[in-house]
Amino acid sequence: MTPLAALAIASALHAGFQVTVTTLVYPVLAAQPAGSFAAAHDAHSRRIVPLVGAVYLAVLLAGGWVLVAAPLGPAVVVALAAQALALGTTALVAAPTHGALGREGPAPALLRRLLVADRVRAGAALAGLAAAVVAAVAALP
Per domain, the residue ranges of the chain are: 3-138
Q: Is 105 left (phi over 0), alpha (psi -120 to 50) or beta?
A: left
What are φ and ψ of residue 134, in 5° steps?
-60, -45
CA 113 to CA 41: how far, in whole Å? 15
pLDDT at 1: 95
Q: What is the pLDDT of residue 78?
A: 98
pLDDT truncated to tens, each residue of the chain (141 aa)? 999 999 999 999 999 999 999 999 999 999 999 999 999 999 999 999 999 999 999 999 999 999 999 999 999 999 999 999 999 999 999 999 999 999 999 999 999 999 999 999 999 999 999 999 999 999 998
43-47, Cβ contacts within 8 angstroms, sequence gap of 24 or more: 45/98, 45/102
